A and B are shown apart, each in its own frame.
Chain A
Amino acid sequence: MHRSAGSVAQSITAEPVAHRRVPVRTRALRRRAGLGAWAALRLALALLVALPFAWMVLTSLKSSHEAVTWPPDLLPSVWRWSNYAEVWRAGSFGRWLFNSLAVATAVAIGNVALGGPAAFAFARLRFPGRNLLFFSVLATLMIPGELTLIPVFFILSRLGWINTYLALIVPFLVNGYSVFLLRQFFEGIPESITDAATLDGAGPVRLFWSVALPMARPAVAVSMFLSFVGTWNSYLYPLVVTRSVQMRTITVGLSLFQQEYGSNWVLLMGAATIIAAVPVVAFLIVERHLTDALTVTDQRG
């Protein structure tokens, strides 16, 4: 957008000169060729970044013999979709997948169900100590997560929660980032709307549930996405708080696969593809909201 506005300004001054030298058709052609090269360069960059994923998927569809031929073939001779059935049967893959889906879904819902009202209260209600409380929520964002691992582990083991779903879910039900994100969005809702609803007799609960939450749909989607994907992708935490094979999450499961089937790259890449696909699909759904949400959060500067 900036560019088009700029080039208009440029062409106003440049046009008459260029007109005399180069015939119109050549100029259009040259511009189209430049655009083509530019597009090709961009496409190449996108492909370069996507290359490791492409190699992952291609390997997952080869035969185990084919994966380790030298020199390697780019494409599988036969596309073996049945490899994925084998991944499913290996280890406790199905159980791990279920664990991760259940835990990440619970965390995502918790972040909106618990973080949402908190965010709304911070944005629209007046109560003593509000600013202090909100700053303490923000302060939790600055504490590196991995470094709270040991105290959290200590508390969980005192509660007897180690190796349970509670340990995987409860500490993440509320997250400072979600509260912050939702609060910023609630603050942006015009006062006139909430005032009108209050005049119509809506209390704070009704106001939150029927007015603010529906309006904040993009922020809700983004905060659910971030908490879901964060939980789905986490590794050190579930590695530490689960013990039995049955309670592992999918990422820990992949590392167990790596130890167990270290050289079976077809199986490993198949599992990796499935684990990668879930957050990528979620990302493509919320993608258009993501930049907006980040624009909102960055007013903290």
Chain B
Amino acid sequence: MSLLVLSFTDWNGISPNVALVGIRNYVTAIHDPLFLQSLVNTLVYVGATLPMVLVAGLGAALLVEHGGPLSGLLRVAFTIPFVVSIVVVAVVWSWIFDPHFGVLNFVLERFGVRGQDWLDEPRWAMLIIILPSVWRQFGYYMLILLAGLKNIDRSYREAAEMDGARYWSRLLRVTLPLLGPQLFFSLVICAIDSFQVFAQVDLMTQGGPVGSTTVAIYYMYQQGFQYFQMGIASAVAVMLVVGVGALTYAQVRWVGRPVYYR
């Protein structure tokens, strides 16, 4: 609530004097092309991260749950990136992507591909933000999905197997539908989480080059804590709350219902 109030004021983050300014902050934000770009960038980020994380998480969960050698090792190895701070992840991947001495360019050149100044190219920068995010997060969703797989009554899948169903059709017809609640939970949480991407941008690109990686929270941070325009930052936050809320509602409505009330 206080966020809503603040969005109608001219607070600069320090001074004790706060005055109401009506909807001026909203107007200013909406007329800033960088704000609009930050929304587009955020949608691109979420749109790319979400499916990659969920597919990787599901694949990892199925692989680990399938049993066989080294399952425990795989589970631990896949989860470790998630427990490490995103700040560490961002710094390490900056080193990997370093244009002069980065190991990625070295490997690419071995295969005859020209290296790039990855983080300085508007074309690549966003992708380079996304990859470490996927790498860090998928293990968490693997754990959630693994927990779901354990909960599935074994007899369902064994019955399908006895009936001679192949692995893939068993997966599509039996396992995945029964995993619906966990997949849905992962979708909602991962979406909310992805909308808040910040550290990767702050550490790897500072929103550049030419605003190509300025995401919504980074824009909010700049307005509030670098330019001391708390009112505008609050207005941006309010719009994001509404946006994320609407998206979550839509997911519950269009994805959640069919999952739970089949």
Contact = CB atoms under 8 A, between A and B. Distances in A.
Contacts of A233: 83-87
A279 B85 contact: yes
Given A279-B84, A295-B150, A269 B69 contact: no
A144 B95 contact: no
Interface string A39-53: 100110111011011
A221 interface: no
A170 to B, nearest CB: 17
Interface stretch (B31-39, B122-130, B217-225): B217-225
Nearest to B248: A142
B112 interface: no
A205 interface: no
Contacts of A284: 76
B217 A236 contact: yes
Nearest to B198: A236
Interface stretch (A112-120, A189-197, A286-294): A286-294
Given A46-B77, A276-B84, A279-B83, A35 B69 contact: yes
Interface residues of A, number: 73
A50 B70 contact: no
A290 B85 contact: no
A236 B198 CA distance: 7
A201 interface: no
Interface in B82-129: 83-89, 91-96, 98, 100-101, 103, 106
A49 B137 CA distance: 12
Given A9-B158, A155-B2, A290-B143, A258 B203 contact: yes
Interface size class of chain B, counting residues whose CB lies under 8 Å from the partner chain: 35 or more
Q: Is the interface of A mostly helix, strand, loop or mixed?
A: helix
A135 interface: no
A39 to B, nearest CB: 4
Contact of A50 (B77, B86, B154, B184): B77
B66 interface: yes
B3 A148 contact: yes
A150 B234 contact: yes
A71 B74 contact: no
A301 B261 CA distance: 12
A136 interface: no
B80 interface: yes
Interface in A258-299: 258, 265, 268-269, 272, 275-276, 279-280, 282-284, 287, 290-291, 294-295, 298
A4 B66 CA distance: 10
Contacts of A232: 85
A67 B147 contact: no
A201 B171 CA distance: 53
B87 A235 contact: yes
A283 B80 contact: yes
A70 B120 CA distance: 21
A153 B220 CA distance: 13
A151 interface: yes
Contact of A255 (B69, B87, B161, B241): B87
B101 A147 contact: no
Contact of A301 (B68, B70, B78, B185): B185
A233 B85 CA distance: 4
A276 B88 contact: yes
A298 B185 contact: yes
Contacts of B11: 154
A147 B2 CA distance: 12
Given A49-B77, A68-B101, A150 B237 contact: yes
Contact of A45 (B74, B154, B240): B74
A240 interface: yes
A251 interface: yes
A53 B69 CA distance: 23
A49 B81 contact: yes
Interface in B139-174: 143-144, 146-148, 150-151, 154, 157-158, 161-162
B44 interface: no
B96 A146 contact: no
B7 to A, nearest CB: 9
Contacts of A255: 87, 91, 202-203
Interface in B188-237: 192, 195-196, 198-199, 202-203, 217, 220-221, 224-225, 230, 233-234, 237
B63 interface: yes
Given A265-B98, A276-B84, A291-B150, 9 more contacts: A3-B67, A38-B69, A42-B73, A52-B135, A59-B95, A153-B13, A235-B87, A275-B87, A301-B260
18 contacts: A5-B158, A42-B63, A56-B95, A67-B101, A144-B195, A146-B196, A147-B217, A150-B230, A154-B2, A155-B2, A233-B86, A236-B221, A240-B225, A251-B88, A275-B87, A276-B88, A291-B143, A301-B185
Interface of A: 1-6, 9-10, 35, 38-39, 42-43, 45-47, 49-50, 52-53, 55-56, 59, 67-72, 142-151, 153-155, 157, 229, 232-233, 235-236, 239-240, 251, 254-255, 258, 265, 268-269, 272, 275-276, 279-280, 282-284, 287, 290-291, 294-295, 298, 300-301
